[in-house]
Amino acid sequence: MAEQLRLMAVHAHPDDESSKGAATTAKYVAEGVDVLVVTCTGGERGSVLNPKLDRPDVWANIADIRRAEMDAARAILGIEQAWLGFVDSGLPEGDPLPPLPEGCFALQDVAVAAGPLVRLMREFRPHVVTTYDEEGGYPHPDHIMCHKVSVAAFEAAGDAERYPELGEPWQPLKLYYDIGFSKGKILALHEAILATGIESPYAEWLTRWEDRPDKGPRITTRVECAEYFPVRDDALRAHATQVDPDGFWFQVPMELQQQAWPTEDFQLVRSMVDSPLPESDLFAGVRETAHAR
């Protein structure tokens, strides 16, 4: 009998699990995979991006509110979730940028900060781990630190000589970076919207993209999950302080999204199994070997 498949998705803040790869995790949950989302920080320094909730009482209780929002999103996605317990670094603004707050996640020693994640990997024993690329998906200090900690933990979890006090070694079989947006995806959505006669919210984004590198060529794995886009959006709306339900993310009609770009995309960066590229399944090569673990 094959071993239960397990997926761990490591994110920086509550809401990231719903805006990055959420339809993929919902798909695997529906297929019977155990999914654990690891949230590195509590999002204590996040902005309130929903104008309807930009109130003093919300700001005064933002940490508790964001935990409650995570509880709601977790239930919608059907996932397990664990907090690493680090403090949000905030997104510094200005020129020059101000220093990061003392004690925040991004200022931790990577080897020390990876310890709690190594412990979780050894306890949960994921076959597949997803996280952000070296730029954090976008250059938020917590996202970049999330990348560093995830890679360090992936490489250490199976080594009995490293963190010996944190449980029996377990080596995940594959590590992926979430490629949330590529130029091809944005262009496909943009053109599909224009074809319906609707004004595209991506026009300005594409103009800015001329000076940015395209991560499309890095994509190795496209997971068909359009059926779960509504679940993704419901989970994202559960993070009510972080998204405006009348805003940018929800302007594109659902059926159009599902038709124009029905996948979520990833880059395979580490693999202990044979899995020819391109892939359509994060567990490609794992399903055939999990029964032997």
268 strand-pairing partners: 176
In the DSSP assignment, the letter for residue 181 is -
Answer for the pair 176, 269: CB distance below 8 angstroms, yes or no. Answer: yes
143 is in an annotated binding site: yes
291 is in an annotated binding site: no
For 257-261, the CB contacts below 8 A with 24+ separation are 257/189, 257/226, 257/229, 258/226, 258/227, 258/229, 259/192, 259/226, 260/188, 260/189, 260/191, 260/192, 261/185, 261/188, 261/189
**DSSP states along 80-121:** EEEEEEEPP-----SSSPPPPPTT-GGGS-HHHHHHHHHHHH
In the DSSP assignment, the letter for residue 137 is S
13 is in an annotated binding site: yes
Buried b (16+ CB within 10 A) or exposed e, 47-56: ebebeebeee
Handedness of CA 123, 129, 133, 134 (dihedral sign): positive
Q: How far apart are CA 21 and CA 236, in angstroms?
A: 11
**What is the rounded (10 degree) CA torsion for 245, 25, 222, 234?**
-20
Question: What angle separates helix 110-124 from helix 141-156, to the nearest 10 degrees?
Answer: 60
Q: Which residues are annotated as a binding site?
A: 13, 16, 143
Q: Which residues are annotated as a binding site for Zn(2+)?
A: 13, 16, 143
